[in-house]
Amino acid sequence: MLRFDYTRHIGFLLILLLVFAIVFVWRRENRRQKALEAAKAKIIRIVGEHLETFARRRMVLLRVDHYGVKDVKRWNKEVQHFIDKVIRPQLTLEETWALGAGLRFNPIFQELIEDRVMLRAREIERETAISGDLTPEQFELWCSNTLASNGWKTSTTKASGDQGADVLAEKCDLRVVLQCKLYGTPVGNKAVQEAFAAQRHYVARLAAVVTNAEYTKSARDLANSTGVLLLHHSDLKRFDDIVEKHCAEFRTSQKANA
């Protein structure tokens, strides 16, 4: 009479289960790697699309105190906002899973975002460096000369009676008024009000505030409703592109609200 060898068959089943487990883990890891590479490619593309703006935001938000200690809180908050609102909606669930850590700031983002943005910010700082001991009047002249070097016909207004404009700039029948603010603190909505008033007084197509600092929320809100541009001083190097884009967007919003 034949006897059934349970030990042998159990051993065979265990080996079979082990093989299945290895294949499952290998396939899952392979899938994760492919999703990770796809996610990285997307992030690289997205960051590239916003690199100029992102780099300038870093220049404004990353501060060094009087002791040489970096204050990264606001910059880290900006990066997380970019991850949550710009990157996350463009990733699939599988790509999000592959990145891990719930899309919180991690070494992958350090490599794909922070390092790239830091390099570009340093390039911009070298290209648009301003002296640390500039006076407000010298800053106005710096803004005027920077636009002039890009083909704009510019002039600075007198210190008194300027009606809210520090610099007048014209190019191809387009007149722009600039309010220039050399500040150590965020610029408030008073500067936006002055720029908007100057736009009306000088019959300009566009008004802008230019600063080395950042802007308060109230300044940004008022600028959104008045069409005043809020610029970092490094933006003047690409002023033509900004003006063209802003005018197109403002015309579209005006039609939508009509």
Residue 142 shares a structural domain with residue 121 = no
Cβ neighbors of 188 (< 8 A, separation 6 or more) are: 215, 216, 218, 219
Our count of domains for the chain comes to: 2
Domain residues for 178?
A: 136-257
Cα–Cα dist 241/17, whole Å: 62
Q: What is the pLDDT along the chain (258 residues), one digit of tens a residue?
A: 445 556 666 776 777 788 778 877 788 778 888 989 999 999 999 999 999 889 888 888 887 666 677 788 888 889 889 988 999 899 998 898 888 755 566 778 888 888 899 999 888 878 777 766 788 888 998 999 999 988 999 988 865 455 678 999 999 889 999 999 998 889 999 999 999 999 999 999 999 999 988 899 999 999 999 999 999 998 998 899 888 887 777 667 666 666
Cα–Cα dist 87/105, whole Å: 12
| Final residue belonging to a domain, choices 95, 127, 159 | 127
How many other CB atoms are found less than 10 A from the CB of residue 29? 10
Residue 120 shares a structural domain with residue 140 = no
Residue 21 shares a structural domain with residue 97 = yes
Q: What's the predicted TM-score (pTM) here?
A: 0.65
Q: For residue 159, give the amino acid letter.
A: A
Cα–Cα dist 132/71, whole Å: 19
Residue 107 class from Cβ within 10 Å (0-12 exposed, 13-18 middle, 19+ buried)?
Answer: exposed
